[in-house]
């Protein structure tokens, strides 16, 4: 017997998030952008100005990470990994030749997650016969449980992980360095250098 | 085994089961090296500030790696309790269930039972992975920031010891003064005695009057 909690935990949306590197990393970054500044703000050992400064800095860093992630990983690394595998690394693999593009594979995954009856109706309604290769179309229309194509999925996930690492660990710190200080000055949490030197008596602890 | 074979094995394993902890641990590991390195390369900051910030960033990621792993595994551990009640019967069509009750066994029923067994395993894996994701999210939202805010400051203070101020320096900063002669308005009386005419500091031992 499947209980309500187990039913909630097997929810298809949650499953697709947990199996998708992009979705899970984006969720984690959003939570970090809430959690880290939140914990800085409730710290009683730091003075109010320093807390505000450190929290804003951390929030801006995580926001930059999210932007870099959205702009870089999906268009560059996911598509790039698929193309590289299809045309170079696994060019002899029949699995890759069944899909024209990354979008084509993602569309297949979306339909294959549904039940056979729903799939049949949807494929006829949306007139997707031309979208998929005849082999894939046949699989979607007849197979109770269509193939996952683990190699294709794994290649895309590996591309996403590589992109996430490069985007979040290498590019985001560089970009955030250029963005954060002007943004903090714009908000009014950081004073211009000349002005700061004159007012050294009440300065914010930028180490926090 | 060639490099392409190794890559294929990695891709197949990721395709079959992509644990949510893989990506976050990979990111934290590289971040733990790159972020402090970039901070140390910054030429606009003071060396002391750079050292402090780099150490803080490095320690944050160093804490994050085991916490992500432990949170994911800990949350996934509860999967076996939540999926204890799931049986093949949950995935069998009613007609097949009736046939089994009536003692009918044929190829179609065997196939249905096999499919149901596969779906039980899939469901268990789904629950485990979704719990792992929940664990990772909890770590990102609460556990890591909490551990960092408790542990980082004492560790950083132990590693980077604050230089003790010497007594001489302390006195010098306390007795810092600027010499500004007071301008007193005497009004019309030019013989009035100006007690504030000195330009000497008003501190310490004075010899000879004022």
| H-helix segments, chain A | 4-9, 12-19, 21-41, 48-72, 79-84, 94-97, 102-112, 116-125, 134-142, 150-165, 172-187, 193-198
- Range of weakest confidence among A75-79, A91-95, B96-100, B192-196: B192-196
Residues of A in contact with B35 (CB under 8 A): 169, 173
**A2, B145: Cβ pair inside 8 Å?**
no
Closest Cα to residue B66, out of B25, B22, B27?
A: B25
pLDDT digit string (tens) for A162-207? 999 999 988 988 888 888 888 888 888 877 654 545 554 455 555 5
> Token pair 């193309």 is at which residue?
A83
Predicted local distance difference test score (pLDDT) of residue B85: 84
Write out the two tokens for B179.
């010499």
| H-helix segments, B42-106 | 47-77, 79-82, 94-101
**A1, B87: Cβ pair inside 8 Å?**
yes
Contact B128, B86 (CB under 8 A): no
ipTM of the complex: 0.82
Torsion region of A125: left, alpha or beta (phi above 0 gives left; psi -120 to 50 gives alpha): alpha
Cα separation, A99 vs A96, whole angstroms = 6
Contact A75, B185 (CB under 8 A): no
Hey, of B3, B5, B14, which one would you mutate to test binding to chain A, going by the most A CBs within 10 A of its CB?
Answer: B14
Write out the two tokens for A167.
């985007």
- Residues of chain B with pLDDT > 90, as a percent, come to 34
Residues of A in contact with B145 (CB under 8 A): 35-36, 38-40
- Separation in Å, CA of B167 to nearest CA in chain A: 21
Write out the two tokens for B207.
């010899």
- Computed on alpha carbons and rounded to an integer, the radius of gyration of chain B in Å comes to 37
Q: In this structure, what DSSP letter does residue B165 have?
A: P
For the CA atoms of B185, B188, B193, B199, what is the dihedral angle to 10 degrees? 30
- Write the residue in A27, A28, A148 that is nearest to B15 by C-beta: A148
> Token pair 């019309």 is at which residue?
B188
Predicted local distance difference test score (pLDDT) of residue B99: 87
**Residue B71 binned pLDDT confidence (cut-offs 50, 70, 90):** very high
Q: In chain B, what are the helix, strand and coil shares in percent, each to the nearest 5?
A: 70, 0, 30
Burial A114-133 (b: 16+ CB within 10 A, else e): beeeebeeebeeeeeeebbe
Cα separation, B52 vs B159, whole angstroms = 9
Predicted local distance difference test score (pLDDT) of residue B108: 86
Residues of B in contact with A62 (CB under 8 A): none
pLDDT digit string (tens) for A13-23? 888 888 888 88
Q: What is the mean pLDDT of chain B?
A: 81
**A25, B49: Cβ pair inside 8 Å?**
no
């Amino acid at each position: 017997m499947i209980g309500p909690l187990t039913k909630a935990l097997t929810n298809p949306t949650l499953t697709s998030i947990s199996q998708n590197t992009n979705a899970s990393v984006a969720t984690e970054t959003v939570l970090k952008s809430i959690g880290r500044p939140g914990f800085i703000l409730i710290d009683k050992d730091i003075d109010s100005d320093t807390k505000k400064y450190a929290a804003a800095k951390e929030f801006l860093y995580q926001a930059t990470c999210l932007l870099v992630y959205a702009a870089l990983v999906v268009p560059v690394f996911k598509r790039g990994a698929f193309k590289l595998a299809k045309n170079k690394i696994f060019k002899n693999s029949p699995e890759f030749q069944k899909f024209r593009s990354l979008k084509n594979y993602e569309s297949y995954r979306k339909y294959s997650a549904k039940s056979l009856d729903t799939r049949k109706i949807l494929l006829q309604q949306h007139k997707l016969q031309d979208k998929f290769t005849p082999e894939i179309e046949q699989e979607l229309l007849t197979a109770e449980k269509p193939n996952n194509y683990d190699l294709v999925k794994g290649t895309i996930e590996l591309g996403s992980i590589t992109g996430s690492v490069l985007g979040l660990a290498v590019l985001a710190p560089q970009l955030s360095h250029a963005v954060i200080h002007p943004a903090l000055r714009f908000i009014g949490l950081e004073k211009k250098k000349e002005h700061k030197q004159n007012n050294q008596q009440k300065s914010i602890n930028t180490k926090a | 085994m060639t490099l392409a074979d190794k890559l294929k094995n990695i891709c197949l394993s990721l395709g079959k089961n992509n644990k949510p902890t893989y990506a976050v641990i990979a990111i934290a590991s590289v971040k733990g090296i790159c972020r402090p390195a970039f901070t140390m390369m910054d030429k606009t900051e003071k060396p002391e500030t750079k050292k402090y910030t780099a150490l803080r960033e490095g320690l944050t990621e160093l804490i994050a790696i085991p916490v992500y792993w432990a949170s994911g595994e800990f949350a996934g551990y509860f999967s076996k309790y939540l999926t204890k009640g799931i049986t093949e019967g949950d995935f069998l069509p009613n007609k097949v269930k009736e046939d089994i009750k009536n003692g009918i066994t044929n190829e179609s029923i065997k196939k249905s039972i096999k499919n149901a067994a596969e779906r039980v395993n899939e469901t268990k894996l789904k629950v485990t992975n979704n719990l792992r994701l929940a664990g990772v999210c909890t770590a990102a939202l609460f556990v890591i920031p909490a551990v960092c805010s408790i542990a980082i400051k004492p560790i950083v203070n132990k590693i980077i010891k604050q230089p003790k101020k010497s007594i001489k320096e302390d006195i010098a900063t306390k007795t810092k003064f600027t010499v500004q002669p007071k301008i007193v308005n005497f009004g019309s009386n030019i013989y009035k005695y100006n007690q504030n005419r000195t330009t000497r500091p008003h501190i310490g031992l004075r010899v000879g009057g004022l």
